[in-house]
Structures are given as C-alpha cells and as structure tokens.
C-alpha cells in the first residue's frame, strides 16, 4: 500500500504521521515544492500547476491514493488533480474541520493564512457547516512561514498575535493550515480551554477508506520516499526533524 502526499513544504508531515499511526505498513511518498513555497500568495493557476507537478512526481512511484495535504492546494487545485488522476488514483483533499467544531461548540475560531481568511471558500464552509455557531475568522500572518522555518521565536510571536485576535473563552479553534498542526501544543497553550480541530486524522482515515485498507494497523514497517521539486532526496529535510511528526517518520522508516 503506497500513499502519496503533496504540499508546498512540511505541512504534509501531520497527515503523513496520521497515516503512519493508522497503518504502520503504509509506504509514504512525500512530494513538496520548497523552491515554490509558500503557495498561499500565488495565483490559483500557479498553485494548480505546482501541485499537479508534485502529484505527477509522486505518482511515478505507483500510488494507491494521493492526499493533497495543503488547504491552499485543496482550494485551487483539487478539480485539476482529480481530472488528471481519478478514477484510477483516488485524490483526497484537505478541508478545515469547521463542521465537527461547529457541531460541538457554540463559539469557534478559524485560524488560517491571511489569504484564506475571509475567502469565498472559507465563507462557504462557514455558511454550509457553521451550524449556527458564532464563528470568528482569525488571520495568522507569518505563522506558516515560521513553522516551515522551524523558528521557535517567530512561531511564538505569530501565535501570540493570532491569540490576541481570538475571542476570550472560545470553545474551539479550527487549524485551517496544515502547518499549524505541527505546533498544535503551542497553539493550545495560547488559547487555554479551547479544543483544537485539525484535519490530519480525518484525511488519513478517508484515504484509507478510499482504498479499502481496513485491516488492523501493523508495526512501523513502511518506507518513506522524499521528493523535492520533482527530485528524489535521500532524507527528510532537516527542518522536518524539528517536529515530532518528522522525527517519528525518520525514526520508524527507511528513506528510499
């Protein structure tokens, strides 16, 4: 069983780690675009072109499923990716967990990049799945960049700004960028009492459902293939090892 994941940078680590937890035998192909990141400020056409290029590089390994582990790419590139690869290769996008958060809490904050905050896409999610909750959209300038750089001070400063924009006593915080899940513990500390809602576990579960991988989890025997800008690398990027998800992948799987 081989599952590919696409993102501009290390935001795909959260979903990759979730797949590994669910199925330790899964072979993972991590395809990213460090020369083109971040994708958020780019045009929809450019994001689509870059996401499709990453996906094609990953698909050369003979995938069973492809996870678009990036909110920006899921917004802009999912139709093109599905047109290019389905039905032969299931493509699973990433959607901010607005629906479960609003189903369980009356007050919700959505932390997202400035480009996503207030976008028609996010407003449509709120309209469709807000369930009458009081929802605050919180832009998080610089947070994904700080996470990508593994810069603790910059991460802390960006989280502090976002926390100051979050209503006191909010019941839930939706992590609307996959990079944010890598610093979920720091976000939780900055918004005490709020429950965090990420997408990684749900995306991993959906990918496994799509390919009928319902057997019990096995030990961590799967390999990891790393593709950077279409070229194979012999290891995970050094910055990935700064996070528990990246360190766990490196410790439990050979990089091919």
Q: How far apart are the C-alpha atoms of 158 and 150, rounded to whole Å?
A: 13
So what's the pLDDT on residue 254? 59
So what's the pLDDT on residue 57? 96
Record the pTM.
0.92
**Higher pLDDT pick, 251 / 106:** 106
Considering its fold, how many domains does the chain have in total? Answer: 2
**Which DSSP category does 194 fall into?**
P
- Same domain for 247 and 209: yes
**Higher pLDDT pick, 254 / 87:** 87
- What tens digit of pLDDT does each residue of 186-244 get? 999 999 999 999 999 999 999 999 998 866 666 767 899 999 999 999 889 999 999 99
- Same domain for 114 and 236: no
So what's the pLDDT on residue 41? 82
Going by C-alpha positions, the residue among 109, 74, 69, 84 that lies closest to residue 191 is: 109
Task: Decide which of 198, 218, 237 is a domain's last residue.
Answer: 198
- What tens digit of pLDDT does each residue of 53-66 get? 999 999 998 999 99
Q: Is the pLDDT of residue 253 over 90?
A: no
Q: How far apart are the C-alpha atoms of 152 and 18, rounded to whole Å?
A: 23
pLDDT band at 85 (very low <50, low <70, confident <90, very high): very high
- Same domain for 125 and 57: no
So what's the pLDDT on residue 234? 87
Give me the CATH number covering residue 170: 3.40.50.1860
- Same domain for 123 and 83: no
- Same domain for 164 and 216: no
So what's the pLDDT on residue 94? 94
Q: How many CB atoms lie within 10 A of CB 216?
A: 6
Domain that holds residue 192: 98-198
Active site residues: 70, 177
- What tens digit of pLDDT does each residue of 29-79 get? 999 999 988 888 888 899 999 999 999 999 998 999 999 999 999 989 999
- Same domain for 141 and 190: yes
Contacts 24+ apart (CB under 8 A), 43-50: 44/75, 44/76, 44/77, 47/72, 47/73, 47/76, 47/77, 48/73, 48/76, 48/77, 48/80, 50/8
- Same domain for 103 and 88: no
So what's the pLDDT on residue 14? 96
- Same domain for 115 and 23: no
**Which DSSP category does 69 fall into?**
-
- What tens digit of pLDDT does each residue of 151-172 get? 999 999 999 999 999 999 999 9
**Higher pLDDT pick, 252 / 142:** 142
So what's the pLDDT on residue 236? 93
Q: How far apart are the C-alpha atoms of 126 and 5, rounded to whole Å?
A: 26
- Same domain for 182 and 139: yes
Q: How far apart are the C-alpha atoms of 99 and 126, rounded to whole Å?
A: 8
> What would the two tokens of residue 4 be?
């590919």
So what's the pLDDT on residue 28? 96
């Amino acid at each position: 069983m081989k599952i590919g994941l696409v993102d501009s940078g290390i935001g795909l680590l959260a979903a990759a780690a979730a797949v590994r937890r669910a199925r330790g035998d899964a072979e993972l192909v991590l395809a990213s675009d460090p020369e083109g990141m971040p994708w958020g400020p780019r045009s929809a056409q450019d994001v689509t072109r870059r996401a499709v290029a990453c996906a094609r590089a990953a698909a050369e390994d003979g995938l069973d499923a492809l996870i678009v582990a990036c909110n920006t790419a899921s917004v802009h590139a999912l139709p093109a990716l599905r047109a290019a690869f389905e039905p032969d290769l299931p493509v699973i996008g990433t959607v901010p967990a607005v629906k479960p958060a609003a189903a369980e809490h009356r007050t919700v904050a959505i932390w997202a990049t400035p480009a996503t905050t207030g976008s028609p896409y996010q407003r449509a999610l709120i309209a469709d799945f807000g369930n009458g909750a009081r929802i605050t959209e919180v832009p998080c300038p610089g947070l994904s960049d700080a996470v990508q750089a593994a810069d603790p001070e910059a991460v802390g400063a960006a989280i502090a700004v976002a926390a100051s924009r979050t209503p006191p006593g909010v019941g839930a915080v939706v992590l609307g960028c996959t990079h944010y899940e890598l610093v979920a513990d720091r976000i939780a500390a900055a918004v005490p009492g709020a429950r965090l809602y990420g997408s990684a576990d749900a995306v991993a579960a959906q990918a496994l459902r799509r390919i009928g991988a319902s057997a019990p989890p096995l030990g961590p025997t799967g390999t990891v293939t790393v593709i950077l800008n279409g070229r194979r690398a012999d290891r995970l990027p050094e910055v990935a090892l700064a996070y528990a998800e990246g360190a766990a992948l490196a410790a439990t799987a050979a990089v091919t």
